[in-house]
Amino acid sequence: MGISQYIKEIGRGKDGARALPREQAADLLGQVLDGAVTDLEIGAFCLAMRIKGETPEEMAGFLDAVQHRLKLLPASDTPTVVLPSYNGARKLPLLTPLLALLLAREGLPVLVHGTPTESSRIFVSEVLSALGIQAQTAIKTIANGEVAFIPTELLCPALKRLLDVRRVVGLRNPAHSLVKIMNPCLGKSLVVSSYTHPEYAVSMAQTFELTRAHAMLLRGTEGEVVADARRMPQMEAFINGQRSLLQVAQAGTLASLPDLPKTVDAASTAAYIQSVMAGEQSVPPSIARQVEHILHLVSQL
């Protein structure tokens, strides 16, 4: 046991490092998640991967390790939509809960999972709490038309601990990508995923293809999986890993912009979401289109 042999391969710098095959990547992360390595080794792993970058083959192996350690949700009557939420709000209101509620209104079970990863942002748990949706304390089936929020530490405590390494070293690690593409559900489900930088769009798409995932991928709002309310992003679909273009990105801002809250605090964001759900304000066109695409994809599962 031990991961020193892997660190020797991935830790030789950007140009000298060697990518690990899927099986070795799964073994490496499995040992990290199982607590079989020292804090020093975990730090070396995180820094080495941050410098080298993850290949799709490595991400598939990391996913294998995570999937074997997740507490999986029982299958629902209809396909579950999975919305990871880890970036939170810094400049714009956090509208991932709006997307979740719009999908639930269509009769779908919706899983939102996440955990705070920084101290200076508004996170989904705060907005959902302001909407009266509290974090679950046990893994159970999500009903049709229900939004359930499950903290990462309930799904996989070891993954939460790996996310928290960022607070110590100040840099992201593979866990921050894994939580955006993992599927914590048994039965049929669709993972909605987002990226912040173009290079992640490429690697995440290739990972979805390699793992034969059912997913939607878009450039979200400040890294969140909800479409930017001010413009139409590109959206791609993956059904059994088969990739297709759902939505072409629109240059510039939308012709009609929503009257978003001027602040990003949880109370203001929740009040705006409630007004949209009540029909007092229109659903932002880009989010409405995203809902349409998700409903179409779910119908194919």
Whichever domain contains 208, its CATH number is: 3.40.1030.10
Q: Is residue 75 part of a domain?
A: no
- The verdict on residue 72 lying in a domain is no
From 38, 67, 96, the end of a domain falls on 67
110-114, strands of its sheet edge to edge: 147-151, 110-114, 80-85, 189-195, 215-219, 235-239, 242-247
Same domain assignment for residues 122 and 154: yes
Claim to verify: residue 227 and residue 92 sit in the same structural domain: yes
Distance between CA atoms of 204 and 35, rounded to whole angstroms?
A: 27
Over pLDDT 70: what percentage of the chain?
Answer: 98
Asked if residue 255 has pLDDT above 70, the reply is: no
For the chain, how many structural domains are there in total? 2
pLDDT at 222: 87
Domain of 52, CATH number, reads 1.20.970.10
Residue 154's CB is within 10 A of a number of other CB atoms, namely 18
220 closest CA partner among 81, 84, 50: 84
Nearest to 101 by CA among 76, 74, 130, 63: 130
61 and 90 share a domain? no
Pairwise CA distance, residues 259 & 53, whole Å: 39
Q: Which residues contact 84 (CB under 8 A, 6 or more apart)?
A: 112, 113, 114, 179, 180, 181, 182, 191, 192, 193, 225
- Say which residue, 257 or 183, is predicted with more confidence: 183
242 and 174 in a single domain? The answer is: yes
d(CA 69, CA 287): 33
Q: What is the mean pLDDT of residues 91-96?
A: 93
Pair (42, 180) in one structural domain: no
Mean pLDDT of the 141-166 span:
95
Domain assignment present for 129: yes
DSSP state, 226? S
Residue 259 has pLDDT above 90, yes or no: no
Q: Please tell me the number of Cα atoms within 13 Å of 234 on its side-chain side.
A: 11
If asked whether residues 228 and 175 sit together in one domain, one would say yes
Rounded Cα distance between 243 and 14, Å, is 29
Per-residue pLDDT band for 89 (boundaries 50, 70, 90) equals confident
Asked if residue 32 has pLDDT above 80, the reply is yes
pLDDT of 282 > 70? The answer is: yes
227 in Cβ contact with 287 (< 8 Å): yes
Residue 1: predicted pLDDT: 63
Indicate if the pLDDT at residue 301 is higher than 90.
Answer: yes
Residue 256: per-residue pLDDT: 65
3-class DSSP state of 151:
strand
Q: Is residue 73 part of a domain?
A: no
Segment 68-79 mean pLDDT: 94
Percent above pLDDT 90 for the chain: 72
| Together in a domain, 202 and 59 | no
Separation CA 41–CA 298 (nearest Å): 41
Which residue range(s) make up the domain with 52?
4-67
In our burial notation (b when 16+ CB lie closer than 10 A, e otherwise), range 253-284 reads eeeeebebbeebbbebbbebbbebbeeeeebb
Amino acid 29: pLDDT: 95
Instruction: Name the pairing type of β-strands 147-151 and 110-114.
Output: parallel
Q: Is residue 16 part of a domain?
A: yes
Q: How many residues does the chain have?
A: 301
Please tell me whether residues 96 and 38 are part of one structural domain. Answer: no
Residues 53 and 150 in one domain: no
Comparing 258 with 56, the larger pLDDT belongs to 56
pLDDT of 25 reads 95
Residue 112 counted as domain residue? yes
Mean pLDDT of 157-183: 90
pLDDT in tens, 101-149: 999 999 999 999 999 887 778 999 999 999 999 999 999 999 999 999 9
Q: Same structural domain for residues 18 and 94?
A: no
d(CA 48, CA 46): 6
Is the pLDDT assigned to residue 56 strictly greater than 80? yes
pLDDT score, position 118: 77
Q: Is residue 74 in a domain?
A: no
State pLDDT tens for residues 185-233: 999 999 999 998 888 888 999 999 999 999 999 998 988 999 999 889 9
How does residue 79 score in pLDDT terms, banded at 50, 70 and 90?
Answer: very high
> Do 38 and 132 have their domain in common?
no
- HSE-CB at 128 with a 13 A cutoff on CA atoms is 26
195 in any annotated domain: yes
Does pLDDT of 254 surpass 70?
A: no
Q: Are residues 101 and 244 in the same domain?
A: yes
